[in-house]
Amino acid sequence: NNRILFKSHTPNNNIIINPDSVIISDNNNNNNNNNNNNHFKYTKVIIEDPLNNRDILLRVAKGQKGIYIWESIDGKNKYVGHSINLYNRISSYYMPSILKTKARKVLSYLNENGFKDIKLTIYILNSEILIDDLVKLEQHFFDTLKPNLNMTLIASATYNNGTMSENAKSKLRTERGIPIFIYDVNTLNLLYIFESKQDMYNKLHIHHITLNKCLDLSEFYLDNFLLSLDYIEEFINEDILSLDEIINLITKSREIYKITRQPKSKKILAEFKGNPDNNKVFTSLNELAKYLKGDRATIRKYLKGEGYYRGVWRFKYWQGEIK
């Protein structure tokens, strides 16, 4: 019962999925072996060239729970992970600040080899699935795939993760609902764990639309903070802040953000390295980010003069006319 959701315009008989396509298959089979992934009802999504197909990733993974698998095209290198917010979690792998840490085997591999010759497989589960069932399914893939890029082949929930500090574990034990983790994308620190969305509304007075954009679209909050429903092992969590400290930090960051951020309507010139004929002018940061399928916060940093984006683009604000 396979059906093509996105069909490529350049057929290739040697592969099932083309760079701009994804196949979805619904698995409803029963299996007597409870450890088999067929025991769970899931939707399987395969995306090749995931870096340049993040629009597909957004459409299928936004707000979803499930398992994700990074795998090299030759099948020799694999990484398996679970998430209760797939798009947000997978997008974190594209963050240069995380990749450069090489804190895990998978990060070292992706930093060295990039995303060109890799495919992303996602198993999307029912929204009501419990975290313990996600962990069971992750363990199934550990047992069957033997992924070489995972640090351990023993699946565990956030609460039992050996890399989490005792301070963070203690805070999680006292919280109810679905916690929200707030990370500093510059220092790679886990700063605070909020009890729930409502807890964050009450204490930080963040607008619900802003919070949902950060969680669903993986946008950075105030350009400096990553909000996630997942515990991300690549971040440092030696000691989380107190409530007063996180409130003060966010308050100061809001003041700086209001002063330094540029109007969205300001035009941007994108200069292509070595070939001025490829230069383009965009009416806004949003338009530029959409064209390059990139992250707005990352592009904004390059607007401040931090070298070439992806090695070829230099950005600056433009006062001239759009031709």
74 has a pLDDT exceeding 60: yes
pLDDT tens track for 185-244:
888 889 999 999 999 999 999 999 899 989 988 889 998 999 999 988 777 776 789 999
User: 74 — phi, psi (to 5°)?
Assistant: -80, -5
Which residues make beta-bridge pairs with 45?
24, 122
Mean pLDDT of 307-311: 89
Pairing of β 313-317 and β 268-272 = antiparallel
Residue tagged 């025991």 (tokens)? 39
Position 2 confidence tier, pLDDT thresholds 50, 70, 90: very low
Rounded mean pLDDT, 297-316: 86
Mean pLDDT across the chain: 80
Residue 86's contacts (CB-CB under 8 Å, 6 or more residues apart) are 61, 62, 64, 65, 66, 68, 122, 124
**Can you point out the beta strands (E) in 89-202?**
118-125, 180-184, 189-194
Tell me the two tokens of residue 66. 């499930």
pLDDT band at 34 (very low <50, low <70, confident <90, very high): very low
Sign (positive or negative) of CA dihedral 111, 115, 117, 123: positive
| From the candidate CATH numbers 3.30.420.40, 3.30.70.270, 3.40.1440.10, 3.40.50.300, the one assigned to the domain spanning 3-155 | 3.40.1440.10
Spatial CB neighbours of 144, under 8 Å, sequence gap ≥ 6: none
Sign of CA dihedral 75, 76, 82, 85: negative
Give the total residue count for the chain. Answer: 323
The two structure tokens encoding residue 162: 């050996």
Bridge partners (DSSP) of residue 6 are 22
Q: Would the pLDDT of 182 be above 80?
A: yes
Q: In this predicted structure, what is the pLDDT of residue 42?
A: 85
pLDDT digits (tens, 9 = 90+) for 272-297: 998 988 899 998 888 899 899 888 88
Beta pairing class for 280-282 and 268-272? antiparallel
**CA pair distance 135, 155, nearest whole angstrom:** 6
* Tokens of residue 320, six digits: 């001239």
Q: Which range is least confidently modeled, 43-57, 116-130, 133-147, 250-264?
A: 250-264
Question: Boundaries of CATH 3.40.1440.10 in the chain?
Answer: 3-155
What token pair was written down for 217? Answer: 């679209």
pTM of the model: 0.65
Task: Give the integer Cα–Cα distance in Å for 109 and 90.
Answer: 15
Summarize pLDDT for 94-111 with one digit per residue, the tens: 888 788 876 788 999 999
**Residue 147 has what pLDDT?**
96
Separation CA 302–CA 86 (nearest Å) = 27
- pLDDT attached to residue 176: 56
List of E strands, 59-139: 65-72, 78-83, 118-125
Q: Over 90: is that where the pLDDT of 87 sits? A: yes
High-pLDDT (> 90) share of the chain, % = 38
DSSP state of 236: B
Mean pLDDT of 65-94: 94
pLDDT attached to residue 126: 86
**pLDDT-based confidence at residue 18 (cuts at 50, 70, 90):** very low
Tokens for 101? 């840490």
Residue whose token pair is 């398992």: 67
Q: Which two tokens stand for residue 11?
A: 């057929």
Q: Are strands 189-194 and 118-125 parallel, antiparallel or unpaired?
A: unpaired
